[in-house]
Amino acid sequence: MRTSKTIGRAAALICVALIAGCAVHPLPMSGGEINAALSDHTATLPGGFTEYYAPDGSLHGWSDGEPYEGKWEVKNDLFCTALSDDPPVCSQVGHEGGILYWSLDGEKKVARVDQIVPGNPRNLK
């Protein structure tokens, strides 16, 4: 009996390890694809951030009940944002199954974008 319990626990641990190892591997997007996906769109990001990427390159955001401003652009197939007077942070953008991913704050780990909707439905300014 003890052997079957040990084997069962080992099998369960292996299954958990395999599921955990199935990391997201989004397909990289070109600069044109990034621009088409983000220009005149609003993104809801992890942590409760909402950002509108205006076609003129301005960024209008909302977090913790406060608005913020910045600029965005696509440069060399990278999505770059600069908030206030901060230097730009650039990230590759990828997609998997209709979901966008990019690095927040220039981190190496990619984050899933919770939602992208056309236009500026929250009227961020």
Per domain, the residue ranges of the chain are: 25-118
- Report the pLDDT value the prediction gives residue 16, as an integer from 0 to 100: 30
Cα 57 to Cα 54, 87, 114: the distances in Å are: 6, 15, 22
Q: How far apart are CA 117 and CA 77, in angstroms?
A: 21
As a three-state string, the secondary structure of 53-67 is ECCCCEEEEEECCEE
Pick the CATH number of 25-118 from 3.40.50.720, 2.40.128.640, 3.40.50.300, 3.40.190.10: 2.40.128.640
Would you mind telling me the total number of residues written for the chain in this entry?
A: 125
pLDDT digits (tens, 9 = 90+) for 55-81: 999 999 999 999 999 999 999 999 999
Cα 46 to Cα 43, 62, 79, 84: the distances in Å are: 10, 12, 17, 20
pLDDT digits (tens, 9 = 90+) for 80-91: 999 988 899 999
CA 117 to chain CA centroid, Å, is 14
Q: How far apart are CA 26 and CA 87, in angstroms?
A: 26
